[in-house]
A and B are shown apart, each in its own frame.
Chain A
Amino acid sequence: MAEIVATNQTILVVGGGISGMTAALEAAECGKHVILVEKTPSIGGRIGQLYRYFPKLCHPTCGLEINLKRLRGNKNLRLLTMTEVADVQGQAGNYTVTLKTQPRFINENCTACGACGEAVKAEFADEHNYGLGKRKGAYLPNAMAYPQRYVLDPRIIGTADAEAAKAACKFNAIDLDMQVETKTLTVGAIIWATGWRPFDASKIQPYGYDRYPNVITSVEFERLADPHGPTGGKLLRPSDGKEAKNVAFIQCAGSRDRNYLKHCSRICCMASLKQATYVREKFADAGDVSIYYIDIRAIDRIDDFHQKVKADPKVKFIKSKVAKIEQDKVGNPVVHGVDTEGYTRYATAHDLVVLAIGMEPSVAANNFPIKVKVNESGFIEQDEANGAIFAAGCSSDALDVNRAVQSATASALRAIQVINRVAGTEG
């Protein structure tokens, strides 16, 4: 790997999702030197796994394309994938960070021609599709992957598949001897943008995510709707591949609940409203949507999207926290509870139940490489005690994309303030 230059005027951005990418680009486009590290083999994070954004219903990959173009063209920005921050020492204006890079087993020669993918037989659960489909042991993480370079799954190393991949590559791009690399750098400020992960739905035992195949999470539903997803964009339910025309969305699946996540995850109501439009778009009047909710949190000017979906007679809103899901004999999930407006008990069968799953910070409170102040839910607080470590996006709170980008842009300035102070150019 080429030499990496970093000084105490360098900004380290941790996490290559929309927040990290934004923070890194915004800072770099101010002329600052930035190193962006991403744990997985390509950048884009969770937004790359979304089919559409609310409320515009535009495609996240569209903005991603712009950001990738910004990134490719920026000489101030250095991207390191498959890299994590193992350790951080020091203080504002002078941190020593230790980065650990996992072997990709494929070097810069890769042209993404796909020959190795064809040669390898082993298949693994596809992370990009939240495990809903399979990918090869030599793979391009997704169609928008940047760097546009294949990866060998470490599980095939030492098997005949690895040799087959190597033999298939005409460009000498496969290096089976790659090792974990550790390097130590000096940086002046750190933007922490490790984002969120979906709450583990199997913990919500009354909803039987671990027992019923047709109870899925909202992030998984995004993959079903996406043409790049496991069903090629068809809304087919997992148990039998039947079209999921009658879909229930359960709000606060994990959120606003002291049993799981105490906080409100903010995005889930809007995500379900958005996903309701997928069902209606794919099946027209044969599509039926039920949204079970406590409060619909369509905050500020995007409430009009809520109103629009609400006006659709095929989308029903039931003010109720679902008590329990069971499965009937034909595999339909049956949703039980009480409609609190008028107190009618329901036991309604749907083709598919989508849990509007809550967000929790990707990095657990006790897992940061350096001590940072977090709140009760594990999100990083803006606090003097954190020195020049600034949270961006969903490391700081449950945020939608718009707010995450705001937060990331703000964090870029906070980091620049430190860098300029170090450089003595703050005036």
Chain B
Amino acid sequence: MGDMNVVKVEAYRNSFLKEVEANVEGGQWVKMCMQCGVCSGSCPLGSAWDHPPQELFMMIRAGKREEVLTSSSMWMCTSCYNCIVRCPRDLPITHIMHGLAHYAERLGLAPKNQPTRKFAKLFWNNLVKKGRVNELKLGVALYFMNGLVEGIKTALKMAPLGLNMLKTKRMNPLEYVGGHGIKDAAGLQAILKKARAIELAKAKKA
């Protein structure tokens, strides 16, 4: 993946905007931003962003590639869609944020210890394996994503919660070993593989 980054840097030497337009989901919309700031003001976690969406757009136009792609900002997106519905220019901001995060991830530039990024990875792997999400495995994996010691601490903190879920039959300890899944997991994996291949082929061309 690191190679891909080098390739992209070469290809778009002068224009990060063009790179984003060609490679990021919704990227062709970035140029339409009129810098009103309503997205940034509407974001529920806005205060946690180093660079809120509108600033990211301006940074993209200004060619701040490294700063944008290594930023933790877009990983703060809760997918609440406030920005999308309020944007006066129709920019699919939520999707652009997702797209930027994914692109950064693909290029290997996403911040390594970003918790949402880690969670997303766990989630995806969990899903791909069986076709459905195994909440318990996902949860346990999540607790330990920052290492064993942290994980035990988190697990202890979360124990009452888990117990509550268990009591109300909204969590099943047996799921850890078996659990839900689809019958045609192989078919799903084939679909995803093909989809990924199509996307990679396009990314190489872009």
User: Do A and B touch directly, given a CB cutoff of 8 Å in the complex?
Assistant: yes
Residues of A within 8 A of B (CB): 206, 252, 256-259, 294, 319-324, 336-340, 343, 345
In the complex, what distance in Å separates the CA atom of A232 from the CA atom of B97? Answer: 51
Residue among B41, B47, B52, B85 making CB contact with A321, cutoff 8 Å: B41
Contact A340 B46 (CB under 8 A): no
Residue among A256, A258, A259, A338 making CB contact with B37, cutoff 8 Å: A338
Contact B42 A324 (CB under 8 A): yes
B18 to A: closest C-beta gap in Å: 24
Contact A321 B36 (CB under 8 A): yes
A262 to B: closest C-beta gap in Å: 9
Q: List 13 A-B contacts (CB under 8 A).
A: A206-B86, A259-B85, A259-B86, A320-B36, A320-B41, A322-B38, A322-B41, A323-B40, A323-B86, A337-B40, A338-B37, A338-B52, A345-B41
Known contacts: A343-B55, A345-B46. The answer to whether A323 contacts B38 by CB under 8 A is yes
In the complex, what distance in Å separates the CA atom of A338 from the CA atom of B34? Answer: 14
Residue among A252, A256, A257, A336 making CB contact with B41, cutoff 8 Å: A336
Which secondary structure dominates where chain B touches chain A?
A: helix
**Chain A residues near B34 (CB-CB < 8 A):** 256, 294
A213 to B: closest C-beta gap in Å: 23
**Chain A residues near B90 (CB-CB < 8 A):** 258
Known contacts: A258-B88, A343-B55. The answer to whether A294 contacts B42 by CB under 8 A is no
Residues of B within 8 A of A (CB): 34-38, 40-42, 46-47, 52, 54-55, 82, 85-86, 88-90
Counting from the closest, the 9 A-B pairs by CB-CB distance are: A323-B41, A337-B41, A321-B36, A257-B88, A340-B37, A338-B40, A321-B38, A323-B42, A338-B41
**Chain B residues near A321 (CB-CB < 8 A):** 36-38, 41, 88
Contact B54 A256 (CB under 8 A): no
**Chain B residues near A338 (CB-CB < 8 A):** 37, 40-41, 46, 52, 54
In the complex, what distance in Å separates the CA atom of A215 from the CA atom of B36? Answer: 21
In the complex, what distance in Å separates the CA atom of A345 from the CA atom of B40? Answer: 9
Known contacts: A294-B35, A322-B41, A337-B41. The answer to whether A252 contacts B88 by CB under 8 A is yes
